[in-house]
Structure 1
């Protein structure tokens, strides 16, 4: 039986649109439109219990999940929503012990979720160039309780001369121009390693796909994921008028070896061989000196007179 203590994380749940994620502190009170919630009243209660406010409204004391952390984190940038994160994790087969490369930390929502899946033996190495976003992400990752499994790097991989990692199991790219870092990602992935890129527009998908083919990736798949909420109530169940529609497009691919390098080497060797065979032979000519010219006149014959 899990009981709430001082410093325990709690989700005060009133309804689907009114819920608050906090850490219990016995000296604090939480003021809401449904009344005041005293933190000290939650201490010692079991998760799942309900607590009355001073306005006779009740909230449930729920144990937060990673979904709750992601949806409640501070947004420095557009976050990747759980509906997309879930597919990324399932499609790429992310699991305990894997080494994950992330380019574009953003607010750290995806970073935190993936870290919670690869822990305790795995690790997420995340790269960003904006120090302000990195500070926000650091707070969110810490709040989610996964700091131990994440290493943040302030480095622009687009211009890096040497890649800092290798043999990564999976790479996640969240940039406006993901195609630019595909050669770098290839260097850091292991053979058959997977890659996901987050692309808000279809034009990005087109450019990215071309870069993936050029850099020898296969099993390329682009998808969009939309969730429709249903309000289920007796006698009047219907679709919800609120919901999360389009958020982003996802592009998946795997590192492969097309054999281009081997073909290039073979072709180069063939051309070299061919040029040797067709090269003209150099024949050495012996130069002979011309004989000295003699006079064309016939010498006069002298006759001896008879005595």
Structure 2
């Protein structure tokens, strides 16, 4: 079984609302309302082991999943939540070996997820215009161990005439005005390649749907995904009072060729 060592990332799990993602160091201590735990006490333990605090509370030492990394990562912008990840991956057909262009890196949550699927042969090329956001995203991507499969560019594709990439399998747009980069995305995508856009409001969704048609995309689908948790307990199972409601709308479409007839100028 895998043993915890110095430098490992470990999820200290007390309950669903109290859990901490920590990098283990021999000299550090973990302080919280449930007490104190020395990091050194975790070293040599198997993942899944339990440690007792000085207040006689306990935490489980869990190996972090991608979900843990995303939910605990530093946010410089609103993130795309895991509840939307699965549908994006299934609807777009994300798989190992693909090349993906992402416009709007944000905090790097979706970037990290996509890289975790396309590796080791695939790659994610992500673009943003805000250096401070990119710095945060770079740290988050590195912490999740996905840096090798992500290339970051500080570049405004809205103003680019020559595209930096071509023959991309898929595209992701996370901008306030996604319709502005659809012509550029079209140039970079393979025929039949899918594009997904993150839209916080229905006004954006409506404008984008029109732009999809104008730029020769089809199989257009707009969705919203609500996650409702269930408190499952013996004899008193019910819906949770807490949950993640609306976070974003998703718009997904595929590049095609309408074969529009063009009249020659006389």
TM superposition score normalised by structure 1:
0.85
Per-residue CA shift, 1:80-114, capped at 9, x if unaligned? 00001111111111111000000000001111111
- Aligned-residue offset at 1:144: 0.7
Q: Which has the higher contact order (CA 8 A, sep 6+)?
A: 2
SS in 2 for 1:158: helix
Tell me the equivalent position of 1:215.
215
Tell me the equivalent position of 1:29.
29
SS in 2 for 1:242: coil
Per-residue CA shift, 1:195-247, capped at 9, x if unaligned? 00000111101110111101110100000000100001111111000000000
- Map 1:1-307; keep pairs closer than 5 Å: 1-260=1-260, 263-264=261-262, 267-268=263-264
SS in 2 for 1:112: helix
TM superposition score normalised by structure 2:
0.98
Q: Distance in 2 between matches of 1:23 and 1:89?
A: 29
- Aligned-residue offset at 1:4: 0.7
Q: Number of matched residues? A: 266
Q: Distance in 2 between matches of 1:188 and 1:161?
A: 12
Q: Distance in 2 between matches of 1:195 and 1:158?
A: 16
Q: Distance in 2 between matches of 1:76 and 1:17?
A: 22
Q: Distance in 1 between matches of 2:10 and 2:119?
A: 22
SS in 1 for 2:157: coil
Unpaired segments of 5 or more residues in structure 1? Answer: 273-307
- Aligned-residue offset at 1:19: 0.1
Q: Distance in 2 between matches of 1:9 and 1:201?
A: 36
Per-residue CA shift, 1:237-288, capped at 9, x if unaligned? 110000000000000000001111xx21xx43xx86xxxxxxxxxxxxxxxx
- Aligned-residue offset at 1:9: 1.1
SS in 1 for 2:159: coil
Q: Distance in 2 between matches of 1:110 and 1:27?
A: 34
Structure holding more strand per residue: 2
| Cα RMSD for the two superposed structures | 0.9
Unpaired segments of 5 or more residues in structure 2? Answer: none
Asked which structure has the greater CA Rg, the reply is: 1
- Aligned-residue offset at 1:193: 0.5
